[in-house]
Amino acid sequence: MLSERSSLYRESAIYLMKEPTHNEVEDEARKRIECFLAKNKKASTNQVSEGTNLAWATVQKHMDYLESIGRVNSERLGNSIIYFFNGNGKWQKRVRLDQDHILFLDTFISQYGKPFIRIKEAKKKGGHWENFGDVMITKDKIREVKEFLGTVEKNIDAYR
């Protein structure tokens, strides 16, 4: 019985002393950034870096990734880029076109308080997701886009 406990203790101690993997460190940094933005709603890379005690380059790398998957949105204001948190995912949808190509649909409120639907295209290149463009649709244009998509869906086979 004692040897079982000793063995269990040694295994537990080894497990507790295990170094975090690269992905675990990356995930923790990304979570800190998202929590900071969720609390502050918007911030520059410098503000996030100071608020999370992460290096500026680390924050910038994660901001690029978070923007490519639709978790944050950026806007240039003068010489600065301000990042806005896109919320808790209630109105978010990923449409995987293939293994390395997705559309990300979400809603967000601009810095001016105006709601948008955004369709973002991202492709995986060299192991990293890259943003290839956004389409912003205002509330007053949603019906027009929806009607067009419905017409295309019904008649898509005619375009062959």
114-117 — which CB contacts under 8 Å span 24+ positions?
114/138, 115/139, 117/142
Q: What is the mean pLDDT of residues 11-20?
A: 45
pLDDT at 2: 47
Class of residue 61 by CB neighbours under 10 A (exposed 0-12, middle 13-18, buried 19+): middle
Give residues with Cβ within 8 angstroms of 146, minimum separation 6: none
- Split at pLDDT 50, 70, 90, the class of 98 is very high
Alpha-carbon torsion (86, 88, 91, 96), positive or negative: positive
Residue 99: which of 123, 121, 128 has the closest Cα?
123
Taking 3-state DSSP, the helix, strand and coil percentages for the chain, each rounded to the nearest 5, stand at 50, 35, 20
pLDDT at 109: 66
pLDDT at 11: 47
Question: Does the pLDDT at position 77 exceed 80?
Answer: yes
Residue 76 Cα distances to 12, 80, 93, 111, angstroms = 49, 6, 25, 11
Q: What is the mean pLDDT of residues 115-119?
A: 82
- The structural domains of the chain, ordered by start, are 20-159 (3.10.450.700)
In the structure encoding, which two tokens stand for residue 88, read together?
A: 């808790």
Q: What distance in Å separates the CA atoms of residue 96 and residue 88, rounded to the nearest whole number?
A: 20
Whose tokens are 């929806």? That residue is: 146
**What order of strands is seen across the sheet that includes strand 42-44?**
42-44, 80-85, 72-77
Question: Does the pLDDT at position 10 exceed 90?
Answer: no
Q: What is the mean pLDDT of residues 63-77?
A: 81
State what percent of residues in the chain have pLDDT above 90: 27
Q: What distance in Å separates the CA atoms of residue 136 and residue 120, rounded to the nearest whole number?
A: 9
